[in-house]
Structure 1
Amino acid sequence: MQLHPKHVGPVVMTFMVVFFVTGFITWLNVGLSDDFVARWMTGWLFGWPIAAVAVITLAPFGESITKFIVRKFS
């Protein structure tokens, strides 16, 4: 199987977005505590696979909505 940017891109984007979002939410919830990094990485470890599966599953629906919006307002 050959990797294609269309398939790899969403996985990489969810990796980065969830990394930053879980870091921010962890900081809001516990501040810069002694176990901040451990809590952040735990949040990321659980959050990223869920986000990646959601993006892969919902991508066709998102593309349809995007096409509809572009057609409607162009």
Structure 2
Amino acid sequence: EGHWHYGDRIGHESLLSRDGRIETGQATRVTLAWAADEPHHYAVTIGEFPRRDPVEWAIKLAGSVAKDLQRQGLM
């Protein structure tokens, strides 16, 4: 319950937990499911986003910028 979106950290009770402990996780996937004979509901996957290597991210970003500049005829 509550207001949250994709990427937010949310508190949840584990299905196997019987002591009522609340765990926090990040909403990594949110899908709206419905059928003609069932009410609408959201199916949520909670986990961690895959970690990215900062150097790999910077290289991809630089390549993307260079490609955009080349498309515009500036490089």
Structure with bigger gyration radius: 2
Same fold by TM (over 0.5)?
no
TM-score, normalised via structure 2 length: 0.34
TM-score, normalised via structure 1 length: 0.34
Which protein has the bigger strand share? 2
Which protein has the bigger helix share? 1
